[in-house]
């Protein structure tokens, strides 16, 4: 695999075009987490998702790393799948964190990835994924977890932290 600006642009376009698959997963995860934490979290539109994709890929350092992980997961397939379970989980978790940004969002996205992966596996049962490599469901889960964490809507992320120490 060679990463060039053209390759990063190609992965950016693929992630943007994946909105019809990722956004429903993202919103399912968001609603489920909202219920679990007694929070009212709005759904994300496909346009909001695409705008967040553009923001991630506008940051060249973040873009090249995200593009590499997207390209690997899009093509990752392991004979009998299970031996690859750890590697696609590792790559998916890392991609979710890269998308979300800095701490604590990064850690939240990494944690959310595992939940989204379970939901995505169930969603895959409802669509024909027989021709997709095994890493694609982890890729979808990573995109859903990373972008749902990155996008606004969680009340605790609105405004300044009550733990900020005032500067003199």
Alpha helices in 18-160 (DSSP H): 19-36, 46-58, 60-75, 85-100, 105-125, 135-150
- Whether the model clears a pTM of 0.85, i.e. scores above it, the answer is yes
**What is the rounded distance in angstroms from the CA atom of residue 167 to the CA atom of residue 81?**
52
- Please state, rounded to an integer, the average pLDDT across all residues of the chain: 88
Question: How many Å apart are CA 44 and CA 60, to the nearest integer?
Answer: 25
Average pLDDT score over residue span 64-85: 83
Could you tell me the two tokens for 55?
């923001």
Q: Does the pLDDT value for residue 163 go beyond 90?
A: no
**What's the whole-number mean pLDDT along residues 63-90?**
84
Give the mean model confidence (pLDDT) for residues 73-78: 84
Tokens, residue 119? 């939901």
Looking at residue 54, its pLDDT comes to 98
Exposed/middle/buried for residue 140 (C-beta within 10 Å: 0-12, 13-18, 19+): buried
CA distance 16 to 30: 19
Statement: residue 148 has pLDDT above 80: yes
């Amino acid at each position: 695999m060679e990463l060039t600006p053209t390759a990063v642009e190609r992965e950016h376009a693929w992630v943007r075009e994946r909105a019809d698959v990722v956004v429903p997963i993202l919103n399912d995860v968001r609603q489920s987490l909202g219920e679990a934490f007694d929070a009212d979290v709005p759904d994300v539109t496909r346009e909001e998702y695409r705008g967040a994709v553009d923001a991630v890929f506008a940051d060249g350092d973040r873009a090249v790393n995200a593009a590499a992980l997207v390209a690997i997961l899009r093509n990752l397939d392991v004979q009998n799948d299970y031996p690859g379970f750890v590697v696609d989980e590792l790559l998916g978790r890392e991609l979710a964190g890269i998308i979300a940004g800095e701490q604590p969002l990064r850690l939240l996205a990494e944690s959310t990835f595992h939940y989204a992966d379970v939901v995505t596996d169930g969603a895959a049962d409802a669509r024909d994924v027989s021709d997709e490599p095994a890493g694609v469901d982890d890729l979808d889960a990573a995109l859903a977890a990373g972008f749902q964490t990155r996008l606004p809507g969680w009340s605790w992320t609105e405004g300044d932290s009550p733990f900020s120490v005032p500067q003199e």
